[in-house]
Amino acid sequence: ATTFDWQDPLSTKSLLTEDELAISETAERYCQEQLRPRLEEAYRNESYDKTQLEEMGQLGLLGATIKGYGCAGVSSVAGGLITKAVERVDSGYRSGMSVQSSLVMGGINEFGSEEQKQRFLPGMAQGKILGAFGLTEPNHGSDPGSLETVAVEHPIKKGYYNLSGSKTWITNSPIADVLLIWAKVADPSKGLAADGTPKKVIRGFLVERKDAPAGTLETPAIKNKLGLRASITGMIHLENCPVPVENMFPDVQGLRGPFGCLNQARYGIAMGVIGALEDCISRARTYALERKQFRGNPLARYQLIQKKLADAATDAAFGTLAAIQVGRLKDAGGDAATGLPDMISMIKRQNCDRALQGARTLQEIFGGNAVSDEYGIGRHVANLFVAQTYEGQSDIHSLILGRAITGVQAFA
């Protein structure tokens, strides 16, 4: 391209395949035409219309990177472009989709038995079976290795575990049909803990709401959030909830399980938050061109305003390029993908931090109008704080990167 395109300054589109461009266009059109009109009321009223997941399913946007089982089987970059399109509208809508697509469908695809894949993935791809991912607990967020939820063999029913414990801040929990719960199970082969009981390992369980006896599973919504109001978030309380062993991931043990799911979702966030930042740039640019101060000059004429737009547009373009590169390495696999989780930490942290900072600075351009929800900018700022916090708060990703750089671990 010979002319500068402020919406894609480094021509990242030129790096995309025809398929990726087509998927991105489909997703962007759906999001702008169908999702955006519903957003304002949903955000004001903290309501989440779950039919949007069925609509996304019809367009092949759920679990899109999974091959088979009714999923589209697209590249990681294409999957990222879908999250970018959704988050351009709202991070909360992207959240609802990410949990379904990356954390639960992705987890089942990576760690589930063949029977579990057949049973859950096709319905989830259509948005007819909804998922939630339960890792965080009231006392353990950044440090999920210390989680307290347990699964013990059922005292009477052979082939069943009883799950007990609490999860909090769980996207989609109040509406989910299947809840992927990470719990500790005694494993005598690992020896004894300090208290003389068998050591425990973390395992993943697919808890189906329809099979939970009354009083064993509750998923109350968390209301009055200050951000991500267009998504639905809740707790999960389990009290001796019986789950058949067929619903446990057969092989994966330890934190490799949940983190394996998080790699895919963190990648989606890294690309997604740039969609939100680009929406802020577009809104701020329009406002700066229209709003006049001092002798009838548009704000856009002033250098300080231009610098804010230049900084944000640079961060958005660099963030997209970095995410495309990591997506390509992810799909190439093998040697190219050595260190992939740390690369994903790098782009998740950087893009979330820059998107939040950029949105916050662009918010200033709106003056007092930034306080009105009509301008959308304050909503993105509130949402992007959450994106910077979940799936590993930015400082936690700093420590992951610090460990990768120095070989010395700093969290504990």
The entry of ligand FAD, ligand TGC, none near residue 389 (CB within 5 to 8 angstroms by kind) is ligand FAD
Q: Give the total of residues touching ligand TGC (CB under 6 A).
A: 25
CB of 409 to ligand FAD, least distance (A): 10
- Residues 228/141/131/223 CA torsion (nearest 10 deg): -40
- What residues from 115 to 134 belong to the interface with ligand TGC (CB under 6 A)? 133
Pick the stretch among 40-48, 136-144, 198-206, 211-219 that binds ligand FAD (CB under 6 A): 136-144
CB of 140 to ligand TGC, least distance (A): 9
DSSP string of 217-282, one letter each residue:
EE--B----SS-TTS-EEEEEEEEEEEEGGGB-SS--STHHHHHHHHHHHHHHHHHHHHHHHHHHH
d(CA 63, CA 104): 9
- What residues from 155 to 174 belong to the interface with ligand FAD (CB under 6 A)? 169-171
Beta bridge partners of 298: 292
Q: Which of 30, 43, 287, 390 binds ligand FAD (CB under 6 A)?
A: 390
Binding flag, residue 99, ligand TGC (CB under 6 A): yes
Pick the stretch among 68-76, 309-317, 319-327, 384-392 that binds ligand TGC (CB under 6 A): 384-392
Q: Annotated catalytic, 391? A: yes
Q: Name the phi and psi angles at 50, rounded to 5.
A: -70, -10
Binding flag, residue 143, ligand TGC (CB under 6 A): yes
Please answer whether residues 388 and 352 qualify as being in contact, where contact means their C-beta atoms are separated by less than 8 angstroms: yes
DSSP string of 329-351, one letter each residue:
HHHH-GGGGTTHHHHHHHHHHHH
Please answer whether residues 130 and 234 qualify as being in contact, where contact means their C-beta atoms are separated by less than 8 angstroms: no
Beta bridge partners of 244: 160
Binding flag, residue 30, ligand FAD (CB under 6 A): no
Q: What residues make contact with ligand TGC under the rule CB under 6 A? A: 95, 98-99, 133, 135-136, 142-145, 171, 254-256, 259-260, 262-263, 341, 390-392, 396, 400, 411
For binding to ligand FAD (CB under 6 A), which residues are involved? 99, 133-136, 141-142, 169-171, 228, 233, 386, 389-391, 393, 395-396, 411
